[in-house]
């Protein structure tokens, strides 16, 4: 009965989250569908102390899907991995409800800590393709991590983070990532910095031009006085 419940839940999450689906049967082809069913089984075994069997199930799923989820990770409801190849989720990762990951995402540790060494991901977070979230800290609810970003520190709720290292470029975003799956139209901090520098440079050029004009006028006045 529990397995049927998980199957229905995963089925509905994929249908809701991916606009590419044209027929219900396509859900059965999704790597996230199969890996999450395997993860739920492996996680139950892990919690009971059957560590080898849990890892065996998770490693078989990783070989089949390209998605590696350690059975010790804690994952909430409504979790979705789009495409999925190259996704890695570490042992002490904690993931809230309605979280979306894209291909190539790593939720990892630095390799130096013991105990809790992987990130905690809040509800409704979206982590775009190729992003790396490394370390034991929290990514707050409703936040978005841009594609290719490397996040190595705390992210407050309702933020947008982009860049290497990750930088907060938008805060208190009222949109919830579950209903806003746009990975592309995120702020570009480098472009914004360049725009500011261009504006400041234009002001400096105008100021220098004014000073040169003033010097010429003063020089002309002195020459006339001498004559």
Note the pLDDT tens digit of each residue in 105-128: 999 998 766 789 999 999 999 999
Q: CA angle, corner 12, sides to 64 and 148, nearest 5? A: 55
pLDDT at 227: 59
**What is the per-residue pLDDT across 189-214, written as a single tens digit (0 to 9) for each?**
556 667 777 778 888 888 888 888 88
pLDDT at 203: 82
The verdict on 116 and 129 lying in the same domain is yes
Q: Are residues 40 and 113 in the same domain?
A: yes
Give CA–CA dist 74/67, Å, rounded: 15
Q: What mean pLDDT do residues 170-183 have?
A: 56
- Sheet of strand 94-95, all strands in order from the earlier edge strand to the far edge: 74-75, 94-95, 120-121, 138-139
- What lies within 8 Å, CB to CB, of 189 at 6+ separation is 162, 163, 167, 169
What is the distance between the alpha carbons of residues 212 and 220, in angstroms, rounded to a whole number?
12
Rounded Cα distance between 97 and 154, Å, is 19
66 close to 31: Cβ distance less than 8 angstroms: yes
Residue 223 — pLDDT band, cuts 50, 70, 90?
A: low
Q: Do 215 and 144 fall within a single domain? A: no
> Which residue's structure tokens are 């839940």?
9
Same domain, 133 and 106: yes
Whether 116 and 192 map to the same domain: the answer is: no
CA-closest candidate to residue 31, choices 75, 71, 6, 62? 62
Of residues 4 and 36, more confidently modeled: 36
pLDDT at 178: 47
Closest of 133, 140, 144 to residue 183, by C-alpha: 144
Identify the CA nearest to 121 among candidates 56, 172, 105. 105
Each residue's pLDDT tens digit, 131-175: 999 999 999 999 999 999 999 999 999 999 998 888 888 787 544
| Whether the predicted pLDDT of 4 surpasses 80 | no
Q: What is the pTM of this model?
A: 0.70
Same domain, 105 and 132: yes
Residues 124 and 183 in one domain: yes
Same domain, 145 and 178: yes
| Residues 199 and 164 placed together within one structural domain of the fold | no
Distance CA 75, CA 72 (A): 9
Same-domain status, 198 and 104: no
**CATH number, domain with residue 61:** 2.160.10.10
The total number of structural domains in the chain stands at: 2
Ramachandran category for residue 109: left, alpha or beta (phi over 0 → left; psi -120 to 50 → alpha): beta
Residue 107 three-state SS: strand
Residue 3's pLDDT band (cuts 50, 70, 90): low
* pLDDT score recorded for residue 175: 47
What CA–CA distances, in Å, run from 116 to 75, 87, 136, 164, 211? 15, 20, 6, 24, 61
Specify the pLDDT at position 1: 46
Does residue 6 carry a pLDDT above 70? Answer: no
Longest dimension (CA), the chain: 106
> Could you list the residue range(s) of the whole structural domain that residue 28 is in?
2-187
pLDDT tens profile 39-59:
999 999 999 999 999 999 999
**Same structural domain, 197 and 175:** no
68: helix, strand or coil: strand
Clarify whether residues 71 and 161 are in a common domain: yes
């Amino acid at each position: 009965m529990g397995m049927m419940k998980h199957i229905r839940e995963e089925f509905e999450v994929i249908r809701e989250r991916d606009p590419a689906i044209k027929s219900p049967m396509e859900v059965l082809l999704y790597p996230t569908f199969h890996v999450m069913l395997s993860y739920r089984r492996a996680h139950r075994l892990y919690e009971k102390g059957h560590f080898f069997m849990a890892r065996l199930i998770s490693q078989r799923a990783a070989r089949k899907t390209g998605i590696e989820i350690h059975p010790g990770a804690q994952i909430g409801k409504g979790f979705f991995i789009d495409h999925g190849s190259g996704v890695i989720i570490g042992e002490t990762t904690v993931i809230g409800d309605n979280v979306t990951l894209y291909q190539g995402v790593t939720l990892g540790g630095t390799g130096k800590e013991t105990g809790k060494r992987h990130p905690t991901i809040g509800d409704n977070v979206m982590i775009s393709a190729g992003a790396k979230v490394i370390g034991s800290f929290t990514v707050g609810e409703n936040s978005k991590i841009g594609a290719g970003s490397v996040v190595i520190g705390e992210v407050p709720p309702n933020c947008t983070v982009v860049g290497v290292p990750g930088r907060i470029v938008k805060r208190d975003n009222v949109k919830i990532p579950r209903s806003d799956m746009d990975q592309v139209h995120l702020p570009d901090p480098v472009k914004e910095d360049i725009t500011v520098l261009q504006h400041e440079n234009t002001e400096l050029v105008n100021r220098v031009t004014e000073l040169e004009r003033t010097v010429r006028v003063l020089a002309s006045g002195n020459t006339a006085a001498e004559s």
